[in-house]
Amino acid sequence: MSDHETLRGWLSLAAAGALEPQEQAELDRHLGICEECAAELERWSEMARGLKRLPTPQPSPRLIERVRAQLESSAAARTERRWNHGVLAFLVLFSWTLTLAGWPIVRLASRGVASWLDLGFTGTWTTLVWYTVLTWLTGGVAGAVLSWQKRRERRLA
């Protein structure tokens, strides 16, 4: 592309006042020697002045209110999802902690100290499995109840 074509591409930007100072200076030098570009710049400038005289459209109050309500709803949903993920992570960690902390207690309560050396699949393991399932179910129910309560509080607020 020639310099003339490049400078001609800048005419609309010059009419809008969007050129950098050095670009504007280069274009001004070109306009001094090129009548065709000077005439085209005048047409672009006339169009830009006409556009500036047009009234700026204003959104209706109903549209503004609808957009604001949607933004608030979206922000509340994002906050609730973040809170739910945090609660879920806590409950998973809590369930694993209770399972691992409870395992020695279940072993001791079911068969005493001698059971530490017995690694066979006996009633102790069944009890541990049921304990784990019960712990995880309790954590899941607690998470669901907390989520439901938080959602209800937000609706009432």
88-102 core/surface letters (b: 16 or more CB in 10 A; e: else): eeebeebbeebbeee
Chunked mean pLDDT (size 10), the chain, 157 residues = 80 88 90 90 90 88 94 90 83 78 70 55 68 79 80 76
pLDDT score for 154: 75
pTM reported for the whole predicted model: 0.40
φ, ψ dihedrals at 39, nearest 5°: -70, -40
Look at residues 96, 90, 98, 101 and name the one whose alpha carbon lies nearest to residue 142.
Answer: 90
pLDDT score for 143: 77
Write the CA distances from 122 to 110, 128, 129, 131, 136, integer angstroms. Answer: 11, 10, 11, 15, 22
Within 8 A by CB and 6+ apart from 94, the residues are 139
pLDDT score for 62: 95
